[in-house]
Structure 1
Amino acid sequence: MARIGVFVGSVFGGAEDVADAVTEFLTAQGHEAEMFTVATLDEFLGYRSDRVLVISSTTGQGEIPENLLPLFQMLRDHFPLLPDLGYGVVAMGDSSYGEDRYCGAGRQFDTLLTELQAKPLAPRLDVDACIHFDPLEVVMPWLQEWLVQAEAA
């Protein structure tokens, strides 16, 4: 079974609720899963040879939520290469805010992790609040596909 760190960016709790459900599901499936609402660089790097999920809402002009921003900045500033890391990103947003802002936090994390040579195990999932009132309706099927890749890699 896989060791999976779930790193969350949330402002009003929606992304945290999704991450809670995801972490519970992963644990029920026999994986070693831990959720981080505020993470240090060392905690993230502790998964450098394992699996990581980033689940984040987007704020304001497409920014990363304040609880996840320090981790993003530390990764960007220290730029540790992560060729053995398999990852997935669930980006939560609202398309009515415009294309350049929609799911901006998740898009930024996805880009950074790719630049750090981490391997996406599935394409980023963009969850549009205008379409999906309950994000778990799309997150859970995506997660099951992501897990197939996480276990195979």
Structure 2
Amino acid sequence: MAVVRIFVGTVFGNAQQVAEQAMKLFAQAGHDAQIAIPEQAEFIAEGVDLLLICTSTTGQGDIPDDLVPLFVSLRDTLPQLPGRKAAVVGLGDSSYDNFAGGGRQFIALFEEMGLPLAQEPLIIDACEDSDPVAASRDWLTELAGKL
């Protein structure tokens, strides 16, 4: 059993719905999965195996307001989290210049932190997939199986 913490950044609720589905799928696979308060203390808490970011993108490729403080805190301190892995689900719209910028910023930050990804990030394009919950199901199920 793995301990999974899910951090959500959303504006219209799509990333939240993906996170709720992730929590259910991980639980069905026998893992302890919870949606966490997006604060650094929660992110660096001991005993966590996987840190999952589910985020939409706002403005010009920006991270949603509810995840900005976590991102800034991590960027400013670059905590080392040996033995842990991360995963990213980034939602966006490819008709914008900075497509899925919220998720891509976390991917770059995790690389800078030396935090390995458990699998390739999932980038969901609203122009191609109108239902991000359905679009993320197989990816999340695969991730749960790797833990």
Indicate the TM-score class for this superposition, using the shorter chain for normalisation.
Answer: over 0.9
Task: State the one-letter code of the partner of 1:120.
Answer: L
> Hey, which bits of structure 1, 4+ residues long, moved more than 3 A?
none
Query: How does 1:71-90 map onto structure 2 within 5 Å?
Result: 71-90=70-89
What residue is the counterpart of 1:108 in the other structure?
105
What residue is the counterpart of 1:29 in the other structure?
29
Contact 1:6 1:34 in 2 (8 A): yes
What residue is the counterpart of 1:19 in the other structure?
19
Looking at structure 2, the residues matched to 118 and 55 of structure 1 have their Cα atoms a distance apart, in angstroms, of 16
Task: State the one-letter code of the partner of 2:3.
Answer: R
State the Cα distance separating 1:138 from its structure 2 match: 2.3
Change (3 A) 1:2 1:114: same
Change (3 A) 1:121 1:53: same
Which consecutive residues of structure 2, in runs of 5 or more, have no partner in the other structure? none
Task: State the one-letter code of the partner of 1:31.
Answer: H
Task: State the one-letter code of the partner of 1:132.
Answer: D
State the Cα distance separating 1:47 from its structure 2 match: 5.2
Which consecutive residues of structure 1, in runs of 5 or more, have no partner in the other structure? none
The count of residues paired between Structure 1 and Structure 2 equals: 147
1:142 aligns with 2:139: yes
State the Cα distance separating 1:30 from its structure 2 match: 1.6
Q: Deviations over 1:124-148 (max 9, x none)?
A: 1110001101112221111122223
Q: Deviations over 1:67-107 (max 9, x none)?
A: 00100000011111123221110000000112xx1000100
Contact 2:3 2:48 in 1 (8 A): no
Aligned-CA RMSD value: 1.4
Looking at structure 2, the residues matched to 47 and 11 of structure 1 have their Cα atoms a distance apart, in angstroms, of 29
Report the TM-score when normalising by structure 2. 0.94
Looking at structure 2, the residues matched to 46 and 32 of structure 1 have their Cα atoms a distance apart, in angstroms, of 14
What residue is the counterpart of 2:122 in the other structure?
125
Looking at structure 2, the residues matched to 131 and 48 of structure 1 have their Cα atoms a distance apart, in angstroms, of 37
Query: How does 1:32-111 map onto structure 2 within 5 Å?
Result: 32-36=32-36, 38-46=37-45, 49-98=48-97, 101-111=98-108
